[in-house]
Amino acid sequence: MEKNRVVITGIGAITPLGNDAKTLWNNLQEGKSGIDYVTRINREDFPVSAAAEVKDFDPTLYMDKKDAKRMDLFTQYAVAAAKMAVEDAKLVIDDSNADRIGVWIGSGIGGMQTLETQHQNFMEKGYRRVSPFFVPMMIPDMAAGQVSIQLGAKGINSCSVTACASGANSIGDAFKAIQRGDVDCMIAGGTEAPLTNMAFAGFSTAKALTFNENPSKASRPFDLNRDGFVMGEGAGILVLEKLDDALKRGAHIYAEIIGYGATGDAYHITAPAEGGEGAARAMNQALSDGGISPEQVDYINAHGTSTNLNDKYETMAIKTVFGDYAYKLAVSSTKSMTGHLLGAAGGIEAVISAKAIEDGIIPPTINYDTPDPECDLDYVPNEARKQKLDVVLSNSLGFGGHNVSLLFKKYE
């Protein structure tokens, strides 16, 4: 059976570098950092100074005030980014197509803020003071649920919860649903709002976060002096569409999605498998799925978290897959500027990959000052690079041993 070709016709983003995809993309090209001193928690209580916070977000620009009050922040971000993506795609959802349009939005943590505030209510005032909306605000699938409700999309409605691979898994699974013919169009990506006391406490005691005192320099993927990731928040959403339908309605096509690789490490709850062997298998799967040889890939948007093991093992995985060609490949980590958006990372980085292909620009890895002998590839240090891009690979790797690679291609 012939598989449907799938293209990206709309993008939407709420990020620490801007509350729309255009602002995000402009700031990335300029090498700007969206990381600053954290304001959502009391800094004195933690060994961590930096966070990548979304600024000046007003949910009422995208939804009714009453509806917004019944959503955790991670859901508000998803609804806003999804509405922007659908508007960008000029997609009209009505009775004629609603049941053929689905939603697949991942979140690693879900309503952490809601959980903490409602638990406090319970401890201080008893069960009667817990909101009746507590459960539907907290559960991670509610971003997809609310996007479906707000937009009237009645096709498959799902959510992948695979830690930092959640957004990428959601896009990959949505792509496959269209390719198989289950649906014609998907609103897909990732969302996260994890900047809470318990998240900072948990990641701090796990020694996963950077203790760097200078926020703009704190996220430094592949640099010798990296010491942990910077937690971020936001949402990145794509409209994925069957090529025939996109052409029929004259939609703008950013890029084609052609490959999806997803593997498990079966190794450790937080550490990546030795040498990045699971990540290497995911990249090989994506290349095979897309019918692309390693030498055809122009750029890799790396997972690149700025943690010691991740960056080292992802570099090793790239060498495993690409051999000598790895040294001719551009590899950059946009987390140097956006921070690590956890379950939303794959969504944001898919938006970035699509824009990179469309504009022929590779965003840099900023704060790359001191090369690490174990990380010796071309990480596009500190300045964006103009380059024709035909094929882009985007990696997302998560706690629990989840590895995802998405493969994008210039539409021809």
- Whether 62 and 28 map to the same domain: the answer is yes
Query: What's the angle, vertex CA 107, arms to CA 20 and CA 314, rounded to 5?
Result: 90
Say if 254 falls within a structural domain: no
Which CATH number belongs to the domain containing residue 375 in this structure? Answer: 3.40.47.10
- Whether 287 and 155 map to the same domain: the answer is no
Q: Is 164 considered catalytic here?
A: yes
Alpha-carbon span 151 to 256, nearest angstrom: 24
- Whether 11 and 121 map to the same domain: the answer is yes
Alpha-carbon span 52 to 406, nearest angstrom: 24
- Whether 265 and 194 map to the same domain: the answer is no
Choosing from 159, 185, 303, 402, the catalytic residue is 303
Sign of CA dihedral 166, 312, 323, 392: positive
Q: Is 185 considered catalytic here?
A: no
- Whether 278 and 359 map to the same domain: the answer is yes
pLDDT tens, 200-254? Answer: 999 999 999 999 999 999 999 999 999 999 999 999 999 999 999 999 999 999 9
Q: State the DSSP code for 231.
A: B
Closest by CA position to 167, among listed 93, 293, 82, 69:
82
pLDDT value at 278 more than 90: yes
| pTM score of the predicted model | 0.98
- Per-residue pLDDT band for 410 (boundaries 50, 70, 90) equals very high
Say if 31 falls within a structural domain: yes
Q: How many CB atoms lie within 10 A of CB 252?
A: 13
How many separate domains does the chain show? 2
pLDDT for position 1 = 78
pLDDT tens, 282-299? Answer: 999 999 999 999 999 999
Instruction: Kindly give the interhelix angle for 197-205 and 112-125, rounded to the nearest 10 degrees.
Output: 110
Alpha-carbon span 368 to 76, nearest angstrom: 34
- Whether 209 and 70 map to the same domain: the answer is yes
The last residue of one of the domains, among 201, 218, 248, is 248
pLDDT tens, 128-175? Answer: 999 999 999 999 999 999 999 999 999 999 999 999 999 999 999 999
pLDDT tens, 350-385? Answer: 999 999 999 999 999 999 999 999 999 999 999 999
Choosing from 185, 252, 268, 340, the catalytic residue is 340
- Whether 127 and 164 map to the same domain: the answer is yes
pLDDT for position 212 = 94
Q: Specify whether the CB–CB gap between 271 and 305 falls below 8 A.
A: no
Percent above pLDDT 90 for the chain: 100
- Per-residue pLDDT band for 268 (boundaries 50, 70, 90) equals very high
Choosing from 164, 185, 375, 402, the catalytic residue is 164
pLDDT for position 299 = 98
Q: How many CB atoms lie within 10 A of CB 2?
A: 5
Say if 40 falls within a structural domain: yes
Write out the residue range of the structural domain in which residue 330 sits.
259-409
